[in-house]
Every structure is written in C-alpha cells, then in structure tokens.
C-alpha cells in the first residue's frame, strides 16, 4: 500500500477529494496515514477525524525559531513513514531538510497553469485575483514534484479551465477546484500507487 501523508493549511477540499477517491476505489492500493496542518483551526483536521485518520498540528507559532519548526515538521512526517507526501494547499515553504529526506516523493497542487501565476506570493485566492487582473481567458491547475524552488519542480499533470466574464476570484477558485484540482491530483496519486509514475 502507498502510504500518504498530506500537508494542508485550510479547508482541505483537495484532501477530501483524495479520501473520496481512495474510498470509492478510484485510487487503489493507497491510504492516507497522517494529515499535518500548520493551522490548529484548519477544517482539514476535522476532515481527517471524519475519515478516522490521524490529524496533527505543527505550527511555526509554537516554536521559537524557524529551524525548530522545520525539524518538528520533518519529525512529524518521518513518524508517519510515508511513501508519498502531498501538499494540498499547504501555505508553508517546505524546508530543505524535508525536501532532502523525501526527494522526488513530494507532490504539490498549484491553482494555475505553471509557469503562469506561480512562485513567491502566488498562493490561494491571490492566484485567481492575479489571473483576473491580467485578463487571461484560460487558467487551470498543475500537479508537480516539489524541489528546492517555489513551484519549480517537474510538472506531472495540468488541466485547463476557462475564465468566464464576470468571474470573481472566489467563483474562479471554485471552478478551478471542481474542474481541475479535484481531478488531476487524485489521478496522479492513483498513477503513483499503481507504479505508472515512479517516485523516489
């Protein structure tokens, strides 16, 4: 079984999509063994509990230095002994110690078509605000491996989504989730679980 640890900061809609695809058999031979959030109030932790999965909070606010937090995050992941780490809306820069430990075993979902609207400062609703401000007609989502850069790892999948006249950032965010993120992230996890995509 592919052991998955999911890191998430907010509501956990992508986390829920993974749970559902595992439970309905779309993703075979895989299971989420731990959910880690940097936010103790994240609804993602409630989702983990609802699916009888361990959820823990490891927050930078609980440590005197960033290095101490980085070590705690690494420890929290290693304790779960995952084969794959999934960043599903994790608004924390993943430290190098984690990237080294799980080299080519961390994937991220980003709510744009990389290399557009990515990198420093582009996360969450800010991505969709930038898309609308630029006036592009097509956006989407990307699943990629995580390396030492921000949104610079090898791309595994992308799916395009139309931008509609009158879209607000919130409306566009929802469409990108429903038409792209919740589809390509479970699909890539399924391909990793089946061995179609090699990791590590």
DSSP state of 89: S
| Dist. CA 166–CA 189, nearest whole Å | 34
| Dist. CA 145–CA 86, nearest whole Å | 9
State the first-to-last Cα distance of the chain, in angstroms, to the nearest integer. Answer: 15
51, 110, 128, 144: the active-site residue? 110
Torsion sign over Cα 64, 149, 151, 154: negative
Whether residue 43 contacts residue 14, with contact meaning beta carbons closer than 8 Å, is answered with no
Query: 67 phi and psi, to 5 degrees?
Result: -60, -40
Q: Establish whether 51 is a catalytic residue.
A: no
Catalytic site positions: 110
């Amino acid at each position: 079984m592919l052991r998955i640890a999911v890191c998430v900061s907010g509501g956990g809609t992508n986390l829920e999509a993974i749970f559902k695809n595992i439970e309905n058999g779309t993703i075979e031979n895989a299971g989420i063994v731990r959910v880690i959030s940097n936010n103790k109030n994240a609804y993602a932790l409630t989702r983990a509990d609802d699916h009888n999965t361990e959820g823990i909070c490891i927050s930078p606010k609980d440590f005197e230095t960033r290095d101490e937090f980085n070590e705690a995050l690494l420890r929290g992941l290693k304790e779960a002994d995952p084969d794959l780490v999934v960043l599903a809306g994790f608004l924390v820069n993943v430290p190098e110690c984690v990237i080294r430990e799980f080299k080519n075993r961390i994937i991220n979902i980003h709510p744009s078509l990389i290399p557009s609207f990515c990198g420093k400062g582009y996360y969450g609703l800010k991505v969709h605000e930038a898309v609308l401000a630029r006036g592009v007609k097509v956006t989407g989502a990307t699943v990629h491996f995580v390396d030492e850069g921000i949104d610079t790892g090898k791309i595994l999948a992308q799916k395009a989504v139309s931008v509609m006249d009158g879209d607000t950032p919130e409306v566009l965010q929802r469409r990108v989730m429903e038409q792209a993120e919740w589809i390509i992230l479970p699909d890539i996890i399924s391909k990793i679980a089946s061995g179609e995509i090699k990791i590590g």
